């Protein structure tokens, strides 16, 4: 598998994981938007694997939704 295909596959799988975690924690995209300061469009693109998000954006999502394993004392 070439690098571009591998990246696309990874981003889609990661986005699906973000969405599952967000839903499991009881958050809508709107709630993440309001509490985490991320646009609805950004959340949608991440969850659909359409963007390679920066680590700071991912940390804000994790902190907002209380993702398991995320250390708030570091953020």
- Fold annotation for 3-65: 434 Repressor (Amino-terminal Domain) (1.10.260)
pLDDT in tens, 8-58: 999 999 999 999 999 999 999 999 888 988 888 999 999 999 999 999 999
Using CA atoms of 73, 66, 61, 57 in order, give the dihedral in degrees to the nearest 10. 20
C-alpha angle 37/74/16, rounded to 5°?
55
Helix axes 29-36, 40-47, angle to 10 degrees: 120
Structure tokens at 44: 């949608």
71: pLDDT confidence band, cut at 50, 70 and 90? low
pTM, to two decimals: 0.82
Backbone angles phi, psi at 48, to 5 degrees: -100, 5
Domain positions in the chain: 3-65
């Amino acid at each position: 598998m070439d690098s571009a295909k591998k990246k696309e596959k990874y981003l889609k799988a990661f986005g699906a994981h973000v969405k599952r975690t967000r839903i499991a924690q009881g958050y809508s995209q709107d709630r993440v938007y309001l509490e985490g300061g991320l646009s609805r469009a950004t959340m949608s693109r991440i969850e659909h694997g359409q963007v390679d998000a920066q680590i700071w954006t991912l940390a804000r999502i994790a902190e907002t939704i209380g993702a398991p394993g995320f250390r708030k004392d570091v953020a």
